Structure 1
């Protein structure tokens, strides 16, 4: 209770300070009242969703949107305050100087104060608008990212073999069937040889996937569809009444994936075959550093695989690649991961520049990386979680074409 009081008081103080900037920039009372009304509505809804209507650790859609609107409002307040606070500190220092030396000068430049208020409000409107856009359209702004990777030891029969990777569906967050249908059609339009899904089909419960089962079951690839589990698929973030209920939920999700045509690889492997040649597909259960579930068993997953086989690993969390896979006795040519979502927020100019705060948590957080002659692709995710939107880091469908070095 005390933390709620502290947070609300801090929010109101920040809101009052930002209001002063608005009053300086415009003397229209209706603007002031609108800001007050929206600020109170946002904090009121947030408190209601996360306390009165709280459903435990499950992040429902109403809670996600309450968080998203609060994030947008806080970004607006903070940037406005940064501009006004610097001005106030300067005024305080000059006022103290005048009082200390008994000068009669009064420091007041209303025109500068108004200029800073207008500038601060203008800049604050950018992240505020971007976060609202991210919730309205950005979360369904699907991008197809295509890569060609060359290997010396790729079997010649698999030259130009095409993989579509999707990850982090998070079906419990979806709220627009037409947009999801468009995304699924986009996956099918790639006409890839195989579709690989790298975990987090749901947020918490298998039931979240039921409305979308037929749609995702329509995904087609001539060599099939394969999947692994992500940290959210185990139901660890739900306060289950019994351990049996939790286990039943996981079995339901496994059965649902089978009904949709996915072969779920649970620390096991399979071979993709073409014209008498084959490559090994290895599926590892979730293994994550930093407190995430470690159900993955790489040694068990590669049982029966030969060291000279060409290998593709599916492992949800890229920290697994960093800490175990690239240092293993086997040489794993390509690992496919997801998990990070690219934090759903950042700045990216494809092929030139990418940045997101998630880089401070994960070394490998989006796109293709190479270490020790081995590749990883970290998919930015098909869905979204927490903040119900995306800004700058868009939902992704990855297409990877395997190439035999020396062939055209």
Structure 2
């Protein structure tokens, strides 16, 4: 049904693109082929969405269908923008000359329309090429991002301590073993003190990770590897009963053990050096959306902590950092929302120095220009804290852009991320 709702918008884009194409050629085979291709793309897309709705599972074929649809449709938004703007100008000019009884407009429009059509199609070729690159190369274009974070109360023994963070593996989307092996080697090359994984190991079901367990087993860190669950890890999208969901979670917990991850389910672990320590905390999924399970509990995760301890928290969804629950959600059909009332992180009674999250993927689409410290993605309008480091109330949040990909099997401008965070002791400016 949601796909059908898109049809009027897509048709509008098609008619405008067809109009631009027709100004450049009158070849019947080209013009007929345009509409035949449109019918094929719509039929394939509808069929794959039907399979997802029927089975509740997202396959590689579905992912490539999403890529086909987006690569086919998104560039036409640019064609529409140019031609629609030209149409508005034409309406005003026509009205102006009508009242002036001037007919020169009739000669000016055809040549201008051809120029605008050529310009529009030329500009549309840029995102078209970008999407192709994103599917072929961009999804495995792993970037190591290093971030230093300074704290006045960091125990001296942990000055220079390094944490490598990955997030949002989404193993069910992978299709290239060599690229994943390369990424795992790249993580190990950082030689961080510890490795953390902030949720979404799979798209829907635990079995998706089975072909990749032996590769992820190679991850090494002297102080251990820690993980939490994300919203996709509960099987909530694939199964229809509480028993099936719990069985899937049990299987995924076993997968974490096989890899060597210490899975923290509202728990904490202490890392000690020279009689000093920091705490690694992990909560289950908790965030602003009512569509995702809310099982995280800061109270449970921190119940054994000493006062004034230094705390690093893994929480999959960055909205947990400052979201204020307006009302208690009682719509939980499988009792997944075990914790209905949860304080956000910055208002919590015990200080969380650094929160590590993922979830957003940076929407796998956007623009980043590091030299100008500029970044933009449409996901910012849903998650204001969507990528990189943020600070509020003396506490830090880092949002990882994601290791894998979901739905669209590619990345355009927002590349897969391996984060290396160095903890430093020092004075902090206001």
TM-score range, shorter chain: over 0.9
State the TM-score, normalized to the length of structure 2: 0.88
Q: CA deviation at 1:89?
A: 3.9
Q: Distance in 2 between matches of 1:11 and 1:158?
A: 55
The answer as to whether partners of 2:52 and 2:58 remain within 8 angstroms in 1 is: no
After superposition, the Cα gap between the structure-2 partners of 1:33 and 1:270, relative to the gap in structure 1 and judged at 3 Å, is: same
Correspondences of 1:266-281 after superposition (within 5 Å): 266-281=265-280
Q: CA deviation at 1:27?
A: 5.0
Q: Distance in 2 between matches of 1:359 and 1:84?
A: 28
Look up the match of 1:347.
Answer: 367
Q: CA deviation at 1:132?
A: 2.0
After superposition, the Cα gap between the structure-2 partners of 1:405 and 1:47, relative to the gap in structure 1 and judged at 3 Å, is: same
Q: CA deviation at 1:334?
A: 0.9
Correspondences of 1:153-232 after superposition (within 5 Å): 153-232=153-232
Q: CA deviation at 1:25?
A: 2.7
| C-alpha RMSD of matched pairs (Å) | 2.2
The answer as to whether partners of 2:166 and 2:197 remain within 8 angstroms in 1 is: yes
The answer as to whether partners of 1:69 and 1:132 remain within 8 angstroms in 2 is: no
Correspondences of 1:9-408 after superposition (within 5 Å): 10-26=9-25, 31-32=30-31, 35-51=34-50, 54-95=53-94, 107-109=106-108, 110-240=110-240, 242-291=241-290, 292-323=292-323, 324-350=344-370, 352-405=373-426
Q: How many residues align?
A: 404
1:289 counterpart SS class: coil
Deviates more, 1:41-50 or 1:200-209: 41-50
Q: Distance in 1 between matches of 2:352 and 2:359?
A: 20
After superposition, the Cα gap between the structure-2 partners of 1:302 and 1:18, relative to the gap in structure 1 and judged at 3 Å, is: same
After superposition, the Cα gap between the structure-2 partners of 1:96 and 1:385, relative to the gap in structure 1 and judged at 3 Å, is: same
Q: Distance in 1 between matches of 2:354 and 2:9?
A: 48
Deviates more, 1:31-40 or 1:170-179: 31-40
1:107 counterpart SS class: helix
Q: Distance in 2 between matches of 1:54 and 1:115?
A: 44
After superposition, the Cα gap between the structure-2 partners of 1:153 and 1:41, relative to the gap in structure 1 and judged at 3 Å, is: same
Q: CA deviation at 1:78?
A: 2.1
Q: CA deviation at 1:338?
A: 0.6
The answer as to whether partners of 1:195 and 1:224 remain within 8 angstroms in 2 is: yes
Deviates more, 1:50-59 or 1:273-282: 50-59
2:106 counterpart SS class: coil
The answer as to whether partners of 1:164 and 1:195 remain within 8 angstroms in 2 is: yes
The answer as to whether partners of 1:161 and 1:403 remain within 8 angstroms in 2 is: yes
Deviates more, 1:67-76 or 1:317-326: 67-76
After superposition, the Cα gap between the structure-2 partners of 1:10 and 1:398, relative to the gap in structure 1 and judged at 3 Å, is: closer
After superposition, the Cα gap between the structure-2 partners of 1:223 and 1:244, relative to the gap in structure 1 and judged at 3 Å, is: same
State the TM-score, normalized to the length of structure 1: 0.92
- Structure 1: gaps of 5 or more residues: none
